Amino acid sequence: MTHIVIATRESRLALWQAEHVRHLLQERGHTVDLLGLTTTGDQILDRTLSKVGGKGLFVKELEAALEDGRADIAVHSLKDVPMDLPPGFELACVLEREDPRDAFVSPHHASLDALPEGAVVGTSSLRRTVLLRALRPDLRIEPLRGNLDTRLRKLDDGQYAAIVLAAAGLKRLGMEARIRQCFDARTMLPAAGQGALGIEIRSGRPELTAALAPLAHQPTWLATAAERAVSRAMGGSCSMPLAAHARSIDGGLHLAAAWGEVEQAAPLLHAQAEAAVGDLAQADALGTRVAASLQAQGAR
């Protein structure tokens, strides 16, 4: 490959991610252009993703650009990528992960524990909702949609006492100073794939696969594959209050997952397992085993 076109969403964070991949490819001798697109997920801001079609709303327009030849690759936040891609598409590369943790952001309060009783916290993530309720059942969790800048503006306008965002996005945009607290990933388990970038292509493009191979980070790819396998086994939808996070241990991975009930007060369900993981099939097997443990406890 000598010329590659990247399809990307047009939010500031998505463009940073695409520019990052462009720089990596240019370092390896390719010429690279960006094709900016507005997705359905970017346009619908008055309803939660779980009610309007899920995370696939952020990738469908990018996949259309791949299919009709306007673009060669699409750069995604991996946590926004559906667990099963449409026929004819594949995940060709996963880059080294940034910080996978959630970040507590507030103009007036130093931490979640410092919030007064009944304070309003913004998030539209069902995962974050159930985990926050487990930590602070007295808080009011209210919906929050929009790109990163929109969410921060709503916080600064006083609509929320605090909001919870992915630490990776804030760090990538040089906004780490907005983080008041990074949650411990063992108590506030991240979403599957959080902090990692994935590159999607049309199947049957060996020249693209070869061009992207040097960008891949195998430890991240295996860890996120195990996390995504949990989600896939549970149904693979963003309407699930599910967390899954894998970390490297000697000779393999430790994978932890949690499941909660959004509509009723119920204890979180937890599952974890360790295994030697050297390829994607072994990562998938580990994730499937952890999902089965959640299901055996009653997770739906």
Q: How far apart are CA 79 and CA 168, in angstroms?
A: 12
74: its two tokens: 């699409």
Q: Please report how the helices 218-234 and 280-296 are oriented relative to each other, as an axis angle in degrees rounded to 10.
A: 40
Contacts (Cβ under 8 Å, ≥6 apart) of 12: 147, 148, 149, 173
Clarify whether 138 is annotated catalytic. Answer: no
52: its two tokens: 């309007």
Place of tokens 């990163």: 148
Q: How far apart are CA 297 and CA 49, in angstroms?
A: 27
Query: From the CB of residue 108, how many other CB atoms can be counted at a distance below 10 Å?
Result: 12
Handedness of CA 212, 218, 220, 224 (dihedral sign): positive
Q: Which helix (H) or strand (E) holds 141?
A: strand 140-142
In a 13 Å sphere around the CA of 124, the CA atoms on its Cβ side amount to: 19
| Number of helices (H), then strands (E), in the chain | 10, 13
Q: Which helix (H) or strand (E) holds 7?
A: strand 3-9
> Which one of the listed residues 42, 80, 99, 102 is annotated catalytic?
80
Q: In what order do the strands lie in the sheet with 140-142?
A: 140-142, 120-122, 162-166, 102-105, 181-182
Residue spans of alpha helices (H) in 34-122 = 40-43, 49-52, 60-67
Active-site residues: which are they?
80
